[in-house]
Chains A and B, each alone.
Chain A
Amino acid sequence: MHLAISLNIAAATGEAVLDFSRISKFVRQAEAAGVDMVAISDTADGPSSSPFEATTLLAALATVTDKIGLVAAASTVAHQPYNLARRFASLDIISHGRAGWHATMAQGSREAANFSRPEGFSDTDFRRRAEEYIGIVQGLWQGWDADALLFDKTGGRFHDPEKMHLLDHKGEFFSVRGPLNVARSPQDTPVLVLSDLSEADLDIAARTADVILLESGSVDSAKVRFDDLKRRAMAAGRDPDAVKVLTSISFAPDDGPAATADRLETQLRAKSCDGFNIQLSAQHSALGDFVDHILPALRQRGLVQEGYRGTTLRSHLRLDGGGDQ
């Protein structure tokens, strides 16, 4: 099963502000435990318990880790699609193919008002805009073929112009010519993670997402949504396994590792998800509980494998294009 840890450092916890060394220690601990990815939350509409915006933090973390996937939240309201695509393409090269973009399909309550849109967006406009936006970003990420760079000093050919493609997107909300001025990702494209899906977003997610985060619920309801999403992915012409569905869970400290492991095992055996997104506050002890007690219990049951097989986030997630598998 796949394991993500969501680091909710944007949420104010009332605790002292977290500095970089504490956050990096936390992420390295997750890496040592073989977790597929850490997702860093971000909101531009409230106080944060970290002084860092998620993409800048991801770049810094990329230089102090070497295996774990790093996913940053970034909003479709706060960035222009060209700039966002470029930032993540660059993060993916900095991290040697371990980056992902987490886009929420829910509109932040105060965000638009800080980005010169005091009137906000209607729900349908927000959705149509987000869909167009995601298409642009994924298109830009494919603007350069993997073998476009020639580096031919004597021949004077730096790249092959045939292997660079314009996007030439003209849509309802955006017009973007492209191409990106960042090379192709070492893992083909950065991983796209979507969450906060409403019914109307399910097809968009099934068409575009690599990872979908679902809220926790009963095993039965999770199973229904899981099957539904996989069916929609197939209907969109994708291999159902090309979309990983992770159920978000959080623990109460007194649940006990065996009980928690039972809970996860039941959900997994029912085929209601491909893995879990563990929601933790950025506290060392919270991760320690998970790594030292719950993870060994899951390993013992053969539910989690040891270590990383490849080096890219796509390879951890068994997604195509991940390079070394």
Chain B
Amino acid sequence: MTARMKLGAFLWATGHHIAAWRHPKAHVTAGIDIDHYIQLARTAEAAKFDMVFCEDAAGLREANVGIASQTSRSIGFEPISLLSALAVQTSRIGLVSTASTSYNEPYGLARTFLSLDHLSGGRAGWNLVTSASPIEAANFGSTGLKPHADRYERAREFAEVVTGLWHGKASGHDGQSFSVRDPLGLPRSPQGAPVMVQAGASDVGRDLAARTADVVFTAAQTFEEAKAFYDDLKGRMATYGREPDDIKIMPGVSPVVAETEAEAREKHEELQALIPDDVGVALLSSYLSISDLWRYPIDGPLPELPESEGMKSRQALVVEQSRRDGLSIRQLARHFAGARGHWRIVGTAAQVADELQAWFEGGAADGFNVMPSYFPGELDAFATLVVPELQRRGLFRRDYEGRTLREHLGLKRPA
């Protein structure tokens, strides 16, 4: 049997396109409608996705209230409670939530995810992030965002404590940032341990992933970028005594798909036309970790930027793209507002499948985290148009091979 690609259904607000909520067919009350999410999870499960995936931020996404009020991202469900509800309303699909190592304690987080794992019969995963936003930092003290290196050092210790607790290792930890005395008072996970996912692509981020992660969620704009990341990360595995195949690399992809290419382009243009300029520029500023991008002429080039203490990998990606394609601030803003810095494909099911196949077979990805532009329409379109095309090509499963998320992903069960 040839290898099959892994697919995540990344559920977020009204959609991944910044203006998704304004689309006539977008479900605008998503952030307060649990039944909508149950429906999305069932759609993804019927299409045999490996998992649903939720991002997280412990705070608003945008500090400027005028800008924030023009997006749908200021309110939504807290993901662990959301996935716990979905756990008993689905039966096969994996459930992965993002949670920060900067604003949690390992004992509580380990316990909560293990509980989700039990509720779902072994389908839970934790996406480790270190949180790059100063808006979040202000909800957890007055000292501001901690430096990148410090956040990752804390994350390394955090991950070690969590996996120790999940694996039932001898209890007791007394370290730099954390101390824990007891084992978790819960039974062992039905899949050995919840799946460890990580998002974070800087040099230290990659090392931490190679050391602890089962899955890596990443952002890339081109095949070359994705391939370089893939080779680099798989190459780091040996340092930690692990096989390249022990980690699954899943770039985000935001497809806009329709029966014909013309229809897909039209759908994409329809969304792009809904982005107010100030919203696009604000979003771009947040990826660049600067606050005064609006001072520069919108049709001019990006200014020189200091290196970010926030999200180093995303800043680099934007700067790289602007130089490569000679884009103005306005053009860049519109480009990134569409798919948040992730890969975008606009076309028919066959065209989308061609592209995914090229990345998959070309050794740039083990699968993809699918980021529908708006909900439910674009998830439905992917499920009904692209998934059958991938199945026809033998690239994606027709039914679940197992019961647990680890089994779906083809991961070893930890001892």
Any A CB within 8 A of the CB of B223: no
CA distance A164 to B62 in the complex (A): 13
Mark B96-125 against chain A: 1 for CB-CB distance below 8 A, else 0: 000000011101100110111011000000
Pair A157/B77 contact, Cβ less than 8 Å: no
Q: Which of B135-194 contact A (CB under 8 A)?
A: 135, 138-142, 174, 177-182, 185-187
A27-54 CB mask vs B (1 if < 8 Å, else 0) is: 0000000000000000111111001110
Interface pair B84/A60, CB less than 8 Å apart = yes
Interface residues on B, range: 35 or more
The answer, yes or no, to whether B398 is at the interface (CB within 8 Å) is no
Report if B234 contacts A (CB, 8 A): no
Whether the pair B75, A52 counts as a contact (CB closer than 8 A) is no
Q: Do B105 and A115 touch (CB < 8 A)?
A: yes
Produce 1/0 per residue, B75-91, CB < 8 A to A. Answer: 11110111011011100
Binds B, one of A80-88, A260-268, A312-320: A80-88
B65 adjacent to chain A (CB < 8 Å): yes
Known pairs A44-B107, A78-B105; A94 contacts B34 (CB<8 A)? yes
Query: Does any Cβ of A come within 8 Å of B59's Cβ?
Result: yes
Is A106 an interface residue when CB atoms closer than 8 A count as contact?
A: no
A64 (CB) vs chain B CBs: closest residue: B88
CB distance from B231 to the nearest CB of A (A): 37
Question: Does any Cβ of A come within 8 Å of B317's Cβ?
Answer: no
Contact yes or no, B142 A175, CB < 8 A: yes
B185 CB contacts on chain A under 8 angstroms: 43-48
**Which residues of chain A are within 8 angstroms of B142 by Cβ–Cβ distance?**
170, 175
| Additional A-B contacts beyond A51-B114, A156-B274, A182-B76 (5; CB < 8 A) | A56-B80, A58-B84, A60-B88, A110-B182, A115-B107
**Of B69, B81, B112, B181, the contact of A114 (CB 8 Å cutoff):** B181
A93's closest neighbor in chain B, by CB?
B32
Residues on A with beta carbons closer than 8 Å to the beta carbon of B72: 158
Determine whether the beta carbon of A86 is less than 8 Å from that of B78.
yes
Closest to B22 in A: A153
4 smallest CB-CB distances across A and B, nearest first, come from A59-B84, A90-B78, A53-B115, A177-B138
Which A residue sits closest to B134, measured CB to CB? A177
In the complex, are the beta carbons of B28 and A113 less than 8 A apart? no
Given the known inter-chain contacts A44-B185, A149-B75, please indicate yes or no for A56 contacting B21, CB distance below 8 A.
no
| B105 CB, min distance to chain A CBs, angstroms | 5
Determine the chain B residues whose CB is within 8 A of the CB of A178 once the complex forms: 139
CA distance A38 to B138 in the complex (A): 35
How distant is the Cα of A304 from the Cα of B336 in the complex, in angstroms?
59
Q: Could you say which residues of chain A place their CB within 8 Å of the CB of B59?
A: 82, 177, 181
Docked pose: A44 CA to B186 CA in angstroms: 10
Residue B276 lies at the interface, judged by CB distance under 8 Å to chain A? yes
The interface on chain A, measured as residues whose beta carbon lies within 8 A of the other chain's beta carbons, has a size of 62
Determine whether A183 belongs to the interface, using a CB cutoff of 8 Å to chain B. Answer: yes
Give the chain B neighbours of A91 by CB distance below 8 A: 81
Closest to B105 in A: A115
Interface centre among B68, B118, B135 (most CB of A within 10 A): B118
Is A20 an interface residue, CB under 8 A from the partner?
Answer: yes
Among residues of A, the one whose C-beta sits closest to the C-beta of B68 is A161
> Does B71 have its Cβ within 8 Å of any Cβ on chain A?
yes
Q: Would you call A144 an interface residue if the criterion is a C-beta within 8 Å of the partner chain's C-beta atoms?
A: yes
Q: Does B24 sit within 8 A of A, measured CB to CB?
A: yes
In the complex, the answer to whether B21 meets A59 with C-beta atoms within 8 Å is no
Q: Which of A79, A117, A183 has the most CB of B within 10 A?
A: A183
Between A and B, 28 residue pairs with Cβ closer than 8 Å are A48-B185, A53-B115, A57-B119, A59-B85, A60-B119, A63-B34, A79-B108, A82-B103, A82-B140, A86-B58, A86-B78, A87-B80, A90-B77, A90-B81, A90-B82, A93-B34, A94-B85, A113-B180, A113-B182, A116-B105, A151-B29, A157-B69, A158-B69, A164-B74, A176-B138, A176-B140, A177-B138, A183-B31
A55 and B81 contact, CB distance less than 8 A: yes
Interface centre among B81, B138, B177, B179 (most CB of A within 10 A): B81
From A117, A170, A176, A182, contact of B77 by CB (8 A): A182
When the two chains form the complex, which single residue of A56, A156, A182 contacts B119, counting CB atoms closer than 8 Å?
A56
| A62 contacts B by Cβ under 8 Å | yes
Q: CA A183 – CA B32 in complex, angstroms?
A: 7
A189 → chain B closest CB, angstroms: 15
**Residue contact B77 to A45, C-beta cutoff 8 Å:** no
Nearest Cβ distance between residue A258 and chain B, in whole angstroms? 39
